[in-house]
Amino acid sequence: MSPDITLIFLSILVPSLGYSVPLILAGTAEVMLERSGVINIGMEGLMLVSAFVAAATAYTTGSLLLGLLSALGIGLIFAIIYSFLILSLSADQIIAGIGLYLLGTGASVLGLYTVFHAAIMPLALPQTLPGIQVYTFGKISYLFFVSIAISIAAYFFLFKTKSGLVVRAIGENPEAADAAGVSISRVRFAVIIIDMLLVSLAGAYLSIDLNPRFVQGMTNGTGFIALAMAAFANWNPLLALLGGVLFGFTEALPLWLSVVMGISYPYQFTNMIPFIAVIVVLAGVIRRVRAPAAVGRIFKRA
């Protein structure tokens, strides 16, 4: 194998893995959440505001760790807001999710003007979270390996533990689980917290790891692709991991084809791939997929 082929391979691998991290984290989070019968369509908003908070905190304090922690703190706040809305007030999950999206998107811009008095961060962060530098192709973040571990752990939790069985039971038939003595709200609250923490981690990754700065709207639909990925993955964390890498690859593909291989075509075609893939899967072309029966349904004790 000539070194050229290795380099050509690395030149597509490194950006693919870079794009895949937030997709894996948010996709896994959404799979777990929907398995418990709750859907969160507002991930994009939380991701944006976490990205902002992480970058702003790291910029002002000079500590990446504090940036990361403050982003997780935002995740926790969003988890409490969302739980209050859908568990305590039995609000519609779609409406509440849109609320989260708008809140997060708006808060990120408001924060930018409040902290930096500007539409941009004046200077980039002096450093980002550590990773493995691969020649000049960029780095493979340690968070990539963390995200793999989280996906695998989520799989074992959902399908190999008793608590995982309870989560899935609540997502399929909350009435039966309730009759069996499980507190629906308590379990869903716990899963919502895990979900929001992972999504805010994905946001922080974008602004203090992959990039040394926050840019308005920098998630560019990652939260929505992750939402679609939960379905694409048939609500299985391991397939969400695979889907994350696959969709990361499709994001990196047009650049690689154009600049490295010299094959040019309109980039819009590749941008469609994740969405086409989801439609194909949901249309049952590849295999049968079935959503957890209680997703998005308000649970009310009779």
Partner 1 sequence: MRSVFRKAISTATVAVIIIIVVIAGAVGVYYYSQQSSGGTKPTNQFNVVVDLAGVTGDLGFNDLGVLGAQEAKQQLGVNTTYVQLPDPSQATSILQSEAASGKYNLIITIGFEWLSALNSTAPQYPNQKFVIFDAIPIVAHPNILAVYYAANESSALAGVLAAAYTKTHKIGIVLGIDTPVLYGFAIGFVYGVRWYENMTHTGPDTVQAYFTGSFTDPSKGQAAANTFISNGADVIWAAAGGTGLGAIDAVQAYNQQHPNNPIWAVGVDTDQSFLVPGQMITSVLKHVDNTIVSVIQTAKAGNFHSGVELGDLANGLVGIANLNSLNQTLAFGVAGGKFTTAQENSIYAAQSALLNSQTYQNVLNSYVSVLTSQITSGHVTIPYPQSRSDYNHWAQVYNLQTN
In this structure, is the dihedral angle defined by the CA atoms of residues 243, 255, 46 and 61, taken in order, positive or negative?
positive
Q: Is 193 in the site for partner 1 (CB under 8 A)?
A: no
Of 4, 117, 288, 302, the residue at the interface with partner 1 (CB under 8 A) is: 117
Q: Is 217 in the site for partner 1 (CB under 8 A)?
A: yes
Q: Is 268 in the site for partner 1 (CB under 8 A)?
A: yes
Q: Which of 132, 165, 216, 272 binds partner 1 (CB under 8 A)?
A: 216
Whichever of 89 and 180 has its CB closer to partner 1, that residue is: 89
Q: Is 104 in the site for partner 1 (CB under 8 A)?
A: no
Closest approach, Cβ 204 to partner 1, in A, equals 14
Helix ranges restricted to H, the chain: 3-35, 43-61, 64-83, 93-116, 142-160, 162-172, 174-179, 184-205, 222-232, 237-255, 267-282
Minimum CB distance to partner 1, residue 56 (Å): 13
Nearer to partner 1, 152 or 257 (CB): 257
Picking from 143, 162, 118, 140, the residue whose alpha carbon sits closest to that of residue 200 is: 143
Binding to partner 1 by residue 113, rule CB under 8 A?
yes
**Contact between 198 and 25 (Cβ < 8 Å):** yes
The distance of Cα 60 from the centroid of its chain, to the nearest Å, equals 26
Minimum CB distance to partner 1 smaller for 61 or for 133: 133
**Identity at 248, one-letter amino acid code:** G
For residue 142, count other CB atoms closer than 10 A to its CB: 13
CB 143 within 8 A of CB 21: yes
Q: Does 215 bind partner 1 (CB under 8 A)?
A: yes
Query: Rule CB under 8 A: is residue 159 a binding residue for partner 1?
Result: no
Alpha carbon distance 163, 96 (integer Å):
27
Shortest spacing between CB 154 and partner 1, in angstroms: 25
Question: Of these, 6, 63, 133, 163, which contacts partner 1 (CB under 8 A)?
Answer: 133
Q: CA dist 50 to 53, 115, 124, 162, 205, Å?
A: 5, 14, 17, 32, 9
User: Is 260 an interacting residue with respect to partner 1 (CB under 8 A)?
Assistant: yes
Q: Which of 96, 107, 184, 210 binds partner 1 (CB under 8 A)?
A: 210
Closest listed residue to residue 171, CA positions, set 268, 22, 280, 31: 31
**Interface pattern 31-70 for partner 1 (x via CB under 8 A):** ----------------------------------------
Taking the complex as a whole, the smallest distance from the CB of residue 292 to partner 1 amounts, in Å, to 28
Using rule CB under 8 A, residue 1 touches partner 1: no
Instruction: Report whether 199 contacts 47 (CB < 8 A).
Output: yes
The binding site for partner 1 (CB under 8 A) comprises 7, 11, 14-15, 18-19, 89, 113, 116-120, 122-124, 133, 135-138, 206, 210-213, 215-218, 220, 251-252, 254-256, 258-260, 262, 264-268, 271
